Amino acid sequence: MQEKPIDARAEEILKKVIVNYILTGEPVGSRTIAKLSREGLSPASIRNVMADLEEMGFLAQPHTSAGRVPTDKGYRYYVDGLLDPFRLAPRDRALIDESLSRVASEFGEAIEIIPKLLSRLSSQVGYVITPPIRDAVLKHIEFVRLHERRVLCVFVDRSGVVSHRIIEVGEEYAQADLDRAGRYLVEEFAGLVLGEIRSRLVALMAQEKAAFDVLLRNAINLGTLYLNAEQDERRLVLEGTANIMKHPEFADMDTMRRLFETFEEKHHLVKLLDRCLDASGVRVVIGSETDDPALGSLALVASPYQVDQRSAGVVGLLGPTRMEYQRAVALVDYISRLLSSLLTSPPH
């Protein structure tokens, strides 16, 4: 950022190299660029520029006598300033509109469909990450006695997402008590965010009324037990991981295996995606910028989506650094906007 030593011509050439490389997957040489350029520059001149670009770290050569290939830094520059505007094909748009309109505002369903959609339309890996439970809005909560000390807690979010967890309780509850406690919590706190509910429960607990009212005490107990655990937990849904194998740059089984292991773990990915939560629009993370060696030659296109104007989760896709960024960005942008509007405006 401090130095921006690229003049218009170099920029032009860098862009041509990258576009060409994305298209063909093969290192591109000066001759190729010369032919493409209507400016009529000779290969030799272009070689000079390319040598400069290499020196500055935007391009690299796989070996001495090969053409140039973009580096992560090169892609970065390209994505930040050289992207051609791109409009989604009307049929793609229509497909998205139609698929998403069917799930209406039920986030629980959207979450299954969106990654598939992204994956299909991009031939890459699509994903959605849900908001943390902390931000879920209580619609319904229910406690079910499994045996003595184990209680299943089922939670339903306003947008129809169901999550559940088993909690270990200190004393034994009858199912009827559990029912009452659940109903109490719903009546009292429906419409509030879980984080908020949690702090209110803590406040209630301090009041002396809680010591005498059994119903209240139970509700507080169960509620806090449920709310205390893993409030940051988010669900990540990946779809189309097999698509990664279409790309020749992953011929090596070993890196491929490590890649799929991180797919299975999800843990790292979630952490990575968190970084994209606060972005204001589509964000692209390229190769080494991920700080994860297993994702070395992958790029991530991510956009946060909003629920009621608040940034909630992230949707996007994942593919080789050599991907059609314009298309990917347009796609992710469109879907995230649509999703946000579905989750925000409609009557709940």
Partner DNA sequence: CTTTAGCACTCTTCGACAGCGAGTGCCAAT
Partner DNA sequence: ATTGGCACTCGCTGTCGAAGAGTGCTAAAG
Binding site for a copy of itself (CB under 8 A): 104-106, 108-109, 139-140, 142, 144, 146-147, 150, 152, 154, 156, 160, 162, 164, 166, 239-242, 245-246, 250-251, 253, 256-257, 260-261, 263-264, 347-348
| Residue tagged 């892609």 (tokens) | 75
239 binds, among DNA, a copy of itself, none (CB under 5 to 8 A by kind): a copy of itself
139 binds, among DNA, a copy of itself, none (CB under 5 to 8 A by kind): a copy of itself
50: contact with DNA by CB under 7 A: yes
54: contact with DNA by CB under 7 A: yes
Phi (first) and psi of residue 236, to 5 degrees: -115, 125
Nearest to DNA of 206, 251 (CB atom): 251
**Among 266, 293, 250, 278, residue whose Cα is nearest residue 128:** 266
Q: Give the integer Cα–Cα distance in Å for 194 and 226.
A: 10
CA 105 remoteness from chain centre: 19
237 binds, among DNA, a copy of itself, none (CB under 5 to 8 A by kind): none
Q: Which of 45, 231, 262, 311 binds DNA (CB under 7 A)?
A: 45
Nearest-10 crossing angle of helices 90-102, 325-344: 30
Q: Which of 1, 4, 8, 40 binds DNA (CB under 7 A)?
A: 40
108 binds, among a copy of itself, DNA, none (CB under 5 to 8 A by kind): a copy of itself
| Residue tagged 């979450």 (tokens) | 111
Q: Which of 31, 149, 246, 348 binds DNA (CB under 7 A)?
A: 31
Residues 307-346 interacting with DNA (rule: CB under 7 A): none
**Residue ranges with strand state E in 173-268:** 236-239
Taking the CA atoms of residue 292, residue 294, residue 298 and residue 301 in that order, the dihedral angle to the nearest 10 degrees is -50
CB of 59 to DNA, least distance (A): 9
Report yes or no: 68 and 46 within 8 Å, Cβ to Cβ.
no
Number of residues that bind DNA (CB under 7 A): 25
How close are the terminal C-alpha atoms of the chain, in Å? 45
47: contact with DNA by CB under 7 A: yes
Q: Give the integer Cα–Cα distance in Å for 200 and 213.
A: 17
CB of 3 to DNA, least distance (A): 18
> Is residue 278 helix, strand or coil?
coil
Rule CB under 7 A: which residues touch DNA?
27-32, 40-45, 47-48, 50-51, 54, 61-68
